[in-house]
Amino acid sequence: MLQIFKTFDELAQGVAGYIFSAIGQTLSAQDRFSLVLSGGSTPRAAYTLLSEPAIARQVDWARVHIFWGDERCVPPDHNESNFRMARETLLSRLPFPERNIHRIQGELPPQQAAEAYLQQLEGFFGGQSGLPHFDLVLLGMGEDGHVASLFPGDAALEVVDRWVVAVEHDRPPAPLVARVTVTLPVINAARRVALIVSGSGKAERVRQALSGADAAETLPAQRVKPKQGELVWLLYGDAGKWINPI
């Protein structure tokens, strides 16, 4: 499914509405909802909308569990922490029990943080031998086509036997930054995946990902293909200028 929005505000509203609808549908059929958050400006705006009283009062947040698709290896109060952004816009404004917040401990050494997050996932999903099945995974896409912290050409893209890995990414002129990310098999095992993209600099990557031409070697976003779940692209403005809405 593909939706293109004319303004950034409409995109944020669309993302918030999609999350709200997914929570409602899922909690009508099961006891809990697992939501994997993404960083970025669009999710920030969507999280703020979700925490507005008119929407927030309609959700049983005590049954919603929060996870992250990736995190930089920085303390939780760091400006670049995905956890910090979510805490400021969503978590601190809603009645989440502490046990429902499953953050990646970016302050730990990368491998230790990855192992600690894996243990959290195994605990939540009952130590199952197969893949975890998140109810909704939110993803952004970078101008290079990366999703979560899975970058073009990185060995982490080929990992099929682990749920979580530590990676390093050097994006000039920024220094080398260690990160922790879930792997593609985990993303593709989700019941719903929402790819949220804004910005004209990403338009060509969106076109490549949706064109049907095989660019999987260089375009991680094209590898996002839930095996049994729903994939929705939520695009703003020029990010979808080459695509005809369907």
Structure token digits, residue 218:
């260089």
Return the half-sphere exposure (C-beta side, CA atoms, 13 A cut-off) of residue 234: 25
Distance set, CA 203 to CA 108, 122, 150 (Å)? 36, 37, 19
pLDDT digits (tens, 9 = 90+) for 99-128: 999 999 999 999 999 999 999 999 999 866
* H or E stretch covering 164: strand 164-169
Q: In what order do the strands lie in the sheet with 177-182?
A: 70-72, 177-182, 164-169
Q: What are the sequence ranges of the domains in the chain?
A: 2-199+226-237
Q: What does DSSP assign to residue 95?
A: T
pLDDT higher than threshold 90 for residue 243? no
| Average pLDDT value for residue range 32-54 | 93
Higher per-residue pLDDT: 239 or 148: 148
Contacts of 23 (CB under 8 A, 6+ apart): 33, 35, 59, 64, 136
Among left, alpha and beta (phi > 0; psi -120 to 50; other), residue 185 is: alpha
Which of 144-158, 164-178, 220-234 shows the lowest mean pLDDT across its residues?
Answer: 164-178
Q: Under a CB-based contact definition with an 8 Å cutoff, are residues 3 and 233 in contact?
A: yes
- Closest alpha carbon to 67 in 83, 85, 88, 48: 83
Alpha-carbon torsion angle 154, 155, 157, 158, nearest 10: 150
Percentage of the chain beyond pLDDT 90 is 73
Q: What is the pLDDT of residue 246?
A: 39
Fold of 2-199+226-237: Rossmann fold (3.40.50)
Q: What is the pLDDT of residue 109?
A: 95
Q: What does DSSP assign to residue 157?
A: G
Q: What is the pLDDT of residue 60?
A: 96
Q: Under a CB-based contact definition with an 8 Å cutoff, are residues 201 and 241 in contact?
A: no
Q: What is the pLDDT of residue 108?
A: 96
Contacts of 92 (CB under 8 A, 6+ apart): none
* H or E stretch covering 208: helix 203-210
232 pLDDT tier (thresholds 50, 70, 90): very high
pLDDT higher than threshold 60 for residue 185? yes
Q: What is the pLDDT of residue 176?
A: 66
